[in-house]
Chain A
Amino acid sequence: MTIALHLVAGVEFNTLPQQLVNGVLLGAIYALIALGYTMVYGVLRLINFAHGEVYMLGAYVALFTSYFLGFRPDQYPTGSTVANLLIMLLASMVVCSLVGVAIERFAYRPMRGHSRIASLITAIGVSLLLQYGGALFLPTSPPPSISEKVNPYYGQSKTFALAKPSPALAQEAEKLRPATESAKASYQAWLSTHPDANEFELPADGKALKTTAQDTERKYQDAKHKLDTGGVNLIIQTGQAVMLIATVVLMGILTYLVLFTKAGRAMRAVAHAFDSAALMGVNVNSIVTFTFVLGSALAGAGAMMTATFLGTPLSTFYGLAPGVKAFVAAVLGGIGNIPGAVLGGLLMGLAENTVVWLGYSNYRDAIAFIVLIIVLLFKPGGLMGSSKVEKV
């Protein structure tokens, strides 16, 4: 009970819609990364620990492409166009696909006959290799970030007023205004008649005027703040909206590829039964490569968009937290299940922003694991997956 009271006490309900929208935007990115995890798991039954590092490399590729396009920190470029963004997106996606395919070919494929734990250890090894090896060669300090100038939508946003503040608040602020202004004016007038007065050692009359002016000003500002935060406003940055649209488009393309192409059908067959698919004439190796291309390209796209539109500073551990959260999202939705990954990603984003909204932003990285443990304990197959009984 006390915990519940404590939870509610520090919460401002009028920021909830904004946090939920932020959650959806963040969740879309998690979903994009989670798709890579879930597809690889579906096909190979392998947790691709290095997926977060592919994401990290994607962000670095976007950074270098932006340098190449003339957006270095020591230059002063004027404007940018959508074409620049598209070039960066494409570069990230292509390089990430190549990296993903190389990881699969040289690290995972040789392990295919061995136990799943052996593959998992290899995956951890690849992940550490990219993190710490990358730290030796990629720029990390000071942490570079993609110039906001490359983003043509930088600073643009749209505000939606969902609910107006109550008129009583407006009246109160309005009531305080004349008193504030007159107090300020009289203090100014006093100052102008005493040009040699030191502002910090005023005589008694000047000091009284100054205190009144400050007090009334404070009360007025308080009322105004209440008025400003009394309504429910929703601010959506144009860049974030573009990011969401691009994510939806990419997911649409993925759905088309998986559901309506020959390779997609083969992929589903391999995910359903690896050995039988091979017996039916599916070229399993090329399908696995195809899966890694798709998953890594999505991670690259997600990395480029977060690095560009959110402007987070890069390091070689850039992919660690998003990678873990996206993996949790994939498990939450039911690993191996593509719509499940999207659902899980959105839920993860919402959960994280809810924790921030409750005032526990220090724990925003822990929530992923807490959700994961709860899900695995009560519904090991995830929300949209099905758990199988193990047979001897």
Chain B
Amino acid sequence: MKFWGIRFVSIIIAIVACLALQAFEGGRSDYEQRIIVLIGLYITLAVSLNLINGITGQFSIGHAAFYQVGAYLTGFLTVTYFAKQPIHNLGAWLILMMVVGALGAAIAGLIVGLPSLRLRGDYLAIVTLGFGEIIRIIVQNQRILGGSYGMNVAPKYKSIALVWMLAIFCIAVCRNLLKTAHGLPFLAVREDEVASSAMGVNVTRVKVTAFLLGSAFAGAAGALLAHFEGFITPTTFGMDVSFIILTMVVLGGTGSITGSVVAAALLSYLPEYLRGLKGPDGQALQIAGYNVVAWLIAVGVAVALIRWAINNYHGPKAKKYGLYVGAFLVGFVVRYVTSFGLKFIPGLAAKLIPVDQVRMLIFAVALIVIMLLRPQGIFAHHEFSWSWVRRLFTRRPVPQTAVSA
């Protein structure tokens, strides 16, 4: 009884929290609403890709395709049928569209997943990327879907509550999968496909389930995006979007839901943060070309030093962290010294780059740096848990051993 009580209460709390967020944000600027919605959508996308990539270990890098299927399918249905059908409540229609988008994307996921069962590792990656591109090119050539000009989705409907409910639902599904016996086959397939198959795991079923679930969530997110923005183009779902979602999963830690959520929130807010930065003249902040180069060199030096410390220093932990901090400091020094030197290169000094254009550069550098320093991601396989929080505030009992006594 207690189990179901906690479940029931947490579901109520989640719904109330989402509605409260909606009520709070309802009167605020479109810009702020858009950021909140994008963060929610990217959390859904990252967590659902994490289900395929991190939890099941199937390296898929075409997630934007499912997002696109959901968006275009439901956008098309709304434009064509909304006026003609009996549900005149847009909210209820949007919930129906989320289900339809999820189903459509799940079918697409099945189409990708079934043939890809024979492939693994980097080949699977390439095929999923290829499917993503094929879907984008097909959509681009359909006049009925607006072709490369894009499609107006009318009527549009902004629902922050639905976006966040979807995100929470997605997190809950993945978390429960990991916490229960249903999730064990997924982890077994990730660790060793052949061995788990020998132990009686139905590998095919596990992989297809992962693809179905992951793509269904992405499809529902696509439905929400289409109705929130009111306008979608094939470029909204390009290869770069797939790579951004992948960066979120990898950065947070493949397999960690917490990691995906945190990384998705950070990385989807980053471009908006950069865009909002103002220079001294009140215009959008610009960064000089030599500074970008200096930063890249500094990051390279710091990464090299930290790698050296990881590989060659085996002393006490505190000193090791001291070395990391030292590497960062050296990086800062290098950044100022090199920028002083690079200033004299005429081409670099004159070049001014608006700060929001370095977004993809930051993603790329983050991807490389995280692979070089911590390939398992920031959170690795760890998850957020209340007992961990509790431990932070309680004194740990000192282990008493015979030797120390």
Binding site for B on A (CB under 8 A): 47, 106-107, 110-111, 114-118, 120-122, 124-129, 131-133, 135-137, 324, 327, 331, 362-363, 365-366, 368-370, 372-373, 376-377, 380, 390-392
Partner of A136 from the list B127, B131, B357, B368 (CB cut-off 8 Å) is: B357
* Residue contact B365 to A129, C-beta cutoff 8 Å: yes
* Residue contact A116 to B126, C-beta cutoff 8 Å: no
Contacts of A124 in B (CB 8 A): 61, 243, 246, 367
* Residue contact A118 to B375, C-beta cutoff 8 Å: yes
* Residue contact B131 to A373, C-beta cutoff 8 Å: yes
B172 on the A face (CB < 8 A) = no
Binding site for A on B (CB under 8 A): 59, 61, 115, 118-123, 125-127, 129-131, 133-134, 137-138, 140-141, 192, 194-195, 198, 240, 243, 246, 250, 289, 292, 296, 300, 307, 348, 351, 353, 357-358, 360-361, 363-365, 367-368, 371-372, 375
Contacts A120-B125, A376-B119, A390-B194 given; indicate if A128 touches B363 (C-beta within 8 A). yes
Nearest A residue to B119 by beta-carbon distance?
A376
* Residue contact B194 to A129, C-beta cutoff 8 Å: no
Given contacts A121-B367, A126-B368, A373-B115, 15 further A-B contacts (CB under 8 A): A47-B125, A116-B121, A120-B125, A128-B243, A128-B363, A128-B367, A129-B361, A129-B365, A136-B357, A369-B131, A370-B130, A376-B119, A376-B127, A380-B118, A390-B194
Contacts of A110 in B (CB 8 A): 307, 372
Partner of A128 from the list B118, B194, B195, B360 (CB cut-off 8 Å) is: B360
Nearest B residue to A115 by beta-carbon distance?
B375
CA distance A107 to B370 in the complex (A): 12
7 A-B contact pairs sorted by A residue (CB < 8 Å): A120-B122, A129-B368, A136-B357, A331-B123, A331-B126, A362-B141, A369-B130
Contacts of A368 in B (CB 8 A): 130
CA distance A349 to B335 in the complex (A): 46
CA distance A243 to B59 in the complex (A): 38
* Residue contact A380 to B375, C-beta cutoff 8 Å: no
CA distance A122 to B303 in the complex (A): 14
- Tell me, rounded to whole Å, the shortest Cβ–Cβ distance linking A377 to chain B: 5
Contacts of B246 in A (CB 8 A): 121, 124
Nearest A residue to B366 by beta-carbon distance?
A125
Contacts A129-B364, A377-B118 given; indicate if A136 touches B133 (C-beta within 8 A). no
* Residue contact A362 to B367, C-beta cutoff 8 Å: no
Partner of A365 from the list B122, B137, B375 (CB cut-off 8 Å) is: B137
- Tell me, rounded to whole Å, the shortest Cβ–Cβ distance linking B323 to chain A: 18
- Tell me, rounded to whole Å, the shortest Cβ–Cβ distance linking A337 to chain B: 15
* Residue contact A132 to B361, C-beta cutoff 8 Å: yes
Contacts of A392 in B (CB 8 A): 192, 194-195, 198
Contacts of B140 in A (CB 8 A): 362
CA distance A377 to B123 in the complex (A): 11
Contacts of B363 in A (CB 8 A): 128
Contacts A128-B243, A133-B364, A373-B131 given; indicate if A122 touches B192 (C-beta within 8 A). no
Contacts of A376 in B (CB 8 A): 118-119, 123, 127
Which 4 A-B pairs rank lowest in CB-CB distance, beginning with the nearest?
Answer: A369-B130, A125-B367, A128-B364, A132-B360
Contacts of B289 in A (CB 8 A): 136-137
CA distance A124 to B122 in the complex (A): 12
Nearest B residue to A114 by beta-carbon distance?
B375
Contacts A125-B371, A363-B137 given; indicate if A137 touches B351 (C-beta within 8 A). yes
Partner of B361 from the list A126, A133, A327, A373 (CB cut-off 8 Å) is: A133
CA distance A373 to B289 in the complex (A): 42
CA distance A362 to B118 in the complex (A): 30
* Residue contact A370 to B367, C-beta cutoff 8 Å: no
* Residue contact B134 to A369, C-beta cutoff 8 Å: yes
CA distance A132 to B243 in the complex (A): 13
- Tell me, rounded to whole Å, the shortest Cβ–Cβ distance linking B121 to chain A: 6
Partner of B138 from the list A127, A132, A137, A366 (CB cut-off 8 Å) is: A366
Partner of B126 from the list A131, A132, A137, A327 (CB cut-off 8 Å) is: A327
Contacts of A122 in B (CB 8 A): 367-368, 371-372
CA distance A368 to B289 in the complex (A): 37
CA distance A116 to B126 in the complex (A): 14
Contacts of A133 in B (CB 8 A): 292, 296, 361, 364
Nearest B residue to A366 by beta-carbon distance?
B137
* Residue contact A111 to B372, C-beta cutoff 8 Å: yes
* Residue contact B122 to A116, C-beta cutoff 8 Å: yes
- Tell me, rounded to whole Å, the shortest Cβ–Cβ distance linking A39 to chain B: 16
- Tell me, rounded to whole Å, the shortest Cβ–Cβ distance linking A60 to chain B: 14
